[in-house]
């Protein structure tokens, strides 16, 4: 899709991978940090800045963005967005990839998803949950898998989901690999998959895998009732 202004909250592995990939795809990317002037951080992000990614504060990244990506730990996301403020976030699409874990390894959002929590806290935004079911390397290199995978969209706004679908395909996912699950409540399934994800990773010895939704063969039966 044509170049967009993307702000990314989070300077960890996920945020860096997405920033680099979307910059290569021709988007104008700003990464937001709570310590944007820290010399050590800027040195760590040198490859990104060399690729044209700008480093700014979190408010600056939000102000820049048509699409604001939440790549922060899920236990901290709402608090961080609150420091930016609802007026500054109004009208933005928030592409949420976050999953929250507590210290004991349980999910921080066992009933209502982080995606739902963000949407409720900031009703003036349009939250779309995606990419929460794959590792950061697979997020930006789906071709590295031995076969096709599936990623998911959850959100209330059809136009926002269309924009996010385009950004996901810019990462290398084919359009038919992106499955729209419906409203933001379906983000619960994406986030809860994290528990199965960890089990699969431990069983296979790698985090670099995908999942695929396999439908019945032609002429197969419909849903069981």
**Which tens digits make up the pLDDT trace of 136-192?**
999 999 999 999 999 999 999 999 999 999 999 999 999 999 999 999 999 999 999
- Find tokens 């996301």 and name the residue: 77
The domain total for the chain is 1
Q: What is the DSSP letter of 177?
A: G
Range of 110's domain?
5-204
Residue 224 lies in a domain: no
Total-model pTM: 0.94
Residue 39 lies in a domain: yes
Q: Give dist(CA 222, CA 195) in Å, integer.
A: 28
Residue 214 lies in a domain: no
For residue 211, what pLDDT is reported? 95
pLDDT band of residue 62 (cuts 50, 70, 90) is very high
User: Please, what's the b/e burial string for 200-221 (b: 16 or more CB within 10 A of its CB; e: otherwise)?
Assistant: eeeeeeeeebbeeeeeeeeeee
CATH code (residue 121): 3.40.50.720
The number of residues in the chain equals 225
């Amino acid at each position: 899709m044509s170049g967009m202004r993307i702000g990314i909250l989070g300077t960890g592995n996920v945020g860096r991978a997405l920033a680099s990939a979307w910059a290569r795809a021709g988007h104008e990317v700003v990464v937001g940090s709570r310590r944007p002037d820290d010399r050590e951080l800027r040195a760590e992000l040198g490859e990104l800045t060399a690729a044209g990614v700008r480093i700014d504060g979190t408010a600056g990244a939000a102000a820049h963005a048509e699409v604001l990506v939440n790549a922060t730990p899920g236990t901290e996301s709402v608090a961080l967005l609150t420091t930016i403020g609802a007026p500054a976030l109004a009208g933005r699409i928030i592409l949420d990839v976050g999953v929250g874990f507590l210290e004991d390894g349980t999910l921080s959002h066992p009933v209502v998803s982080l995606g739902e929590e963000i949407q409720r806290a900031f009703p003036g935004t349009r939250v779309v949950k995606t990419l929460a079911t794959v590792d950061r390397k697979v997020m930006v290199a789906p071709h590295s898998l031995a076969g096709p995978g599936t990623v998911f969209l959850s959100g209330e706004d059809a136009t926002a989901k269309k924009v996010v679908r385009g950004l996901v395909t810019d990462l290398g996912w084919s359009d038919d690999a992106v499955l729209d699950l419906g409203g933001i409540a379906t983000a619960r399934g994406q986030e809860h998959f994290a528990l199965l994800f960890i089990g699969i990773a431990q069983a296979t010895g790698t985090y670099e895998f995908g999942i695929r939704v396999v439908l019945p063969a032609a002429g197969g039966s419909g849903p069981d009732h």
